[in-house]
Amino acid sequence: MSFFASSRLGQHYVPRSPELYTETQNGKDEKITEQDLHRYTRHRWLFNEEKELSNRYVDFDLQQLVRVAVDVCEGAQPCTKVTKCAEGLHNKAFILTMDNGCEVFAKLPNPNAGAARFTIASEIATRKLISDVLNVLVPRVLAWSFDAASSPVGAEYIIEEKAPGVRLGSVWSQWPRSSKLQLITQVVDVQNALTDATFDMHGCIYFKDDLRSLGEEPKETNIHSVWNHPSEYTRALGHNEIAYIKTHAFPRMNYYRSLKSKEYPEDGLALLDKYMKVAPYLAPQSTNEAGSEETPSSNVLIHPDLHLDNIFVDPETLQITRIVDWQSACVAPLFYHANVPRMCAHRGPLQEGWGVPERPEEFDSLSVEEQHKIDDDLESQILHKYYEAQVYRRSPRYWSVLKNMRIPILRKPVWLVTGVWENRDLFFLRESLMSLFARWEELIPGVPCPINFTNEDVELHSKEEENMDGVGKMLTLFRDESVLPVDAWWSPKTMTLLRRTAGTLRISSSDWRKTTKRENYSRNSGHIKNPETPSVCNNLCMFIAFVQAVICALSYRSRALHPSALVLIILLQCISQMNHHNHNTIL
């Protein structure tokens, strides 16, 4: 199904080829090819690259997309420029500029965004509701289609007005604290507008007529519905994952847990069996009187990911002009939604109480670098606390959930269960269930805990945690030293440079190894000539071993390989090389 807010399809339109550009980090647009519009070009992957790129490739007819855009721009004829916006993980986004200066924004979901017809149809209905009923500022939709088969564009799409103003992320670091606090107050206003509206059931929002056109839902699972009670919702999430694992999961390596034994779908199903036993208790019960709306189980709609780049502001007035990216927004219990938005959430420990965090007494004696780090941390805490203070004063229902220390423990399994196998989150789901088990009597008094963990379960989990912690620290070190990214991807330019450097290092390493062998072996006897290799030589051996391991990781392409495996390969090779050197073994 397609929709045009204003159409001039009856007019004769002669397509012309617009100039094609892409946004860059330095603010200058660079020319690209038409194929670059379809491909994901922002990053390169160290592993599974073919799969990752395929999940982000969108095939569509550019001329037909341009034609739709021209039709909704009053007075426009040709489209003169198409600019590919900085890519997110789930959509292709473009700014289309017309000959009369009109600009519109086009968004096409990637395959990894989910079933595109449902994604588009739900986002359109959701935005209509929050704009027309809840008075939240969102871009006006001009044209859209959730039926790729019947659309000349050949893909699902949304064309909307270009959001006025600038992305908050582009100016946030330049703003004084007072401006940031003013903006946070506006965010709480938006949040109040959303959560003041409650719903009878949970689920995604659609137009009734669209549901008839959408046809049957995907057959991967049969758990697609709306739910009357939060416990039905928590159980349905588990049923979906069980169905997914039974259909799609295969044995794989989990290098945190074992370097030899595989992780099997049955391991995931056994863990989900524990989740299903506690799922009915994961919806917090209201402590208010029956029928009160101030309950963690009330159903609300909220923005799915409110970060700085999803908010547009007027740089002069500092007012929010639009809030974008409502893809996958859904109605769910307040306890599931309630959280400090990512844009102002402090990532480290928070000072207790309502007091304003202050510098330590020894601040003046610290280095400039340490002072900047402390100031940044204090600023982040202040913004976080200011948000909480605003919620406390102006959003009592939201605050009743946000302040409840029981809810994060109950909610974490619900957050983690969706995509637990695909996201490789079995460890984290198990950890959340273990935390729940340990505090069950405190959280659910009077009810025997329906799950248990054996000593062997706890021991295996502890070893996995120890491995994850060690690898995590190495990943952080590699990231900080710009050696290896934690998320296993680099920019294309960096990847090209690394591959070029890797080629040089391969040659250097090979030459060095040959020279070392010649110097350390007697030509006549073949015995070691100098068993006490100088320390500088050992250090060089370690360095080259490390570089070779990184090169191996860069060129490795295995569908079963996890980012942690790359680091483990590096660590194991380095340890192996070090062990060889300690025994005076020549490379």
Number of H helices, E strands in the chain: 18, 17
Q: Which residues, other chains included, contact 382 with Cβ-Cβ below 8 Å and sequence gap of 6+?
A: 177, 356, 357
At residue 214, the pLDDT reads: 74
In the chain, domain spans: 2-162, 177-214+226-343+361-453, 477-582
Higher pLDDT, 355 or 438: 438
Nearest to 498, CA basis, from 569, 553, 545: 553
Residues 140, 507: Cα–Cα separation, whole Å: 57
CATH number of 2-162: 3.30.200.20
Does residue 325 register a pLDDT over 50?
Answer: yes
Higher pLDDT, 529 or 279: 279
Does residue 8 register a pLDDT over 60?
Answer: no
At residue 43, the pLDDT reads: 85
Does residue 507 register a pLDDT over 80?
Answer: no
The residue-averaged pLDDT of 361-379 equals 95
Residues 225, 204: Cα–Cα separation, whole Å: 9
Residues 51, 47: Cα–Cα separation, whole Å: 9
Work out the angle at residue 265's Cα, subtended by the Cα atoms of residues 259 and 267, and round it to the nearest 5 degrees: 70
- Mean pLDDT over each residue of the chain, to the nearest integer: 82
At residue 147, the pLDDT reads: 93
What is the end-to-end Cα distance of the chain in Å, rounded?
65
Q: How many CB atoms lie within 10 A of CB 90?
A: 18
The residue-averaged pLDDT of 58-76 equals 95
Which amino acid would we find at residue 6? S
At residue 257, the pLDDT reads: 87
Does residue 566 register a pLDDT over 90?
Answer: no
Residues 165, 160: Cα–Cα separation, whole Å: 15
Strands in 382-516 per DSSP E? 489-490
Helix axes 563-582, 455-480, angle to 10 degrees: 80
**Is there a contact between 519 and 510 (Cβ–Cβ < 8 Å)?**
no
**Is there a contact between 287 and 404 (Cβ–Cβ < 8 Å)?**
no
Residue appearing with tokens 């502890």: 462
At residue 201, the pLDDT reads: 86
Q: Which residues, other chains included, contact 481 with Cβ-Cβ below 8 Å and sequence gap of 6+?
A: none
At residue 49, the pLDDT reads: 85
Phi then psi for 532, rounded to 5 degrees?
-95, 85
Output the pTM of the full model: 0.80
**Is there a contact between 227 and 202 (Cβ–Cβ < 8 Å)?**
yes
At residue 40, the pLDDT reads: 94
Per-residue pLDDT reduced to its tens digit, 18-44:
999 999 877 789 999 999 999 999 888
Residues 345, 407: Cα–Cα separation, whole Å: 17
Residues 230, 236: Cα–Cα separation, whole Å: 10
Which band of pLDDT confidence, cut at 50, 70 and 90, is reported for residue 217?
Answer: low
Work out the angle at residue 330's Cα, subtended by the Cα atoms of residues 329 and 336, and round it to the nearest 5 degrees: 105
Q: Copy the structure tokens of residue 148.
A: 């790729």
Does residue 319 register a pLDDT over 70?
Answer: yes
Residues 111, 164: Cα–Cα separation, whole Å: 29
The residue-averaged pLDDT of 445-462 equals 95
Which amino acid would we find at residue 199? F
At residue 83, the pLDDT reads: 97
| Three state DSSP letters for 276-344 | HHHHHHCCCCCCCCCCCCCCCCCEEECCCCCCHHHEEECCCCCCEEEECCCCCCCEEEHHHHCCCCHHH
At residue 522, the pLDDT reads: 44
- Sign of the dihedral defined by the CA atoms of residues 368, 374, 380, 383, in that order: negative
At residue 497, the pLDDT reads: 65
Residues 441, 15: Cα–Cα separation, whole Å: 69
Does residue 541 register a pLDDT over 60?
Answer: no
Nearest to 132, CA basis, from 207, 210, 182, 186: 207
Per-residue pLDDT reduced to its tens digit, 70-86:
999 998 889 999 999 98
Specify the range with the lowest mean pLDDT, choosing from 237-241, 246-250, 350-354, 413-417: 350-354
**Is there a contact between 65 and 153 (Cβ–Cβ < 8 Å)?**
yes
Higher pLDDT, 548 or 148: 148
The CATH number of 177-214+226-343+361-453 is which of 2.40.128, 2.30.29, 1.20.144, 3.90.1200? 3.90.1200
The residue-averaged pLDDT of 507-517 equals 50
DSSP-derived letter for residue 525 is T
Nearest to 557, CA basis, from 565, 547, 548: 565
The total number of residues written for the chain in this structure: 587
**Is there a contact between 301 and 197 (Cβ–Cβ < 8 Å)?**
yes
**Is there a contact between 1 and 151 (Cβ–Cβ < 8 Å)?**
no
Per-residue pLDDT reduced to its tens digit, 387-417:
999 999 999 989 999 999 899 999 999 999 9
Q: Which residues, other chains included, contact 25 with Cβ-Cβ below 8 Å and sequence gap of 6+?
A: none
Does residue 314 register a pLDDT over 60?
Answer: yes
**Is there a contact between 335 and 410 (Cβ–Cβ < 8 Å)?**
yes
Residues 567, 143: Cα–Cα separation, whole Å: 46
Q: What is the DSSP string of 167-208?
A: EGGGTGGGS-HHHHHHHHHHHHHHHHHHHTS-BSSBB----H
Residue appearing with tokens 């790729």: 148
Residues 410, 437: Cα–Cα separation, whole Å: 11
Phi then psi for 158, rounded to 5 degrees?
-130, 130
Which of 11-15, 247-251, 255-259, 335-339 holds the top average pLDDT? 247-251
Which band of pLDDT confidence, cut at 50, 70 and 90, is reported for residue 3?
Answer: low
Q: Copy the structure tokens of residue 395.
A: 């959003």
Q: Which residues, other chains included, contact 234 with Cβ-Cβ below 8 Å and sequence gap of 6+?
A: 279, 280, 282, 283, 414
**Is there a contact between 271 and 436 (Cβ–Cβ < 8 Å)?**
no
Does residue 212 register a pLDDT over 90?
Answer: no
Higher pLDDT, 294 or 101: 101
Residues 4, 159: Cα–Cα separation, whole Å: 9
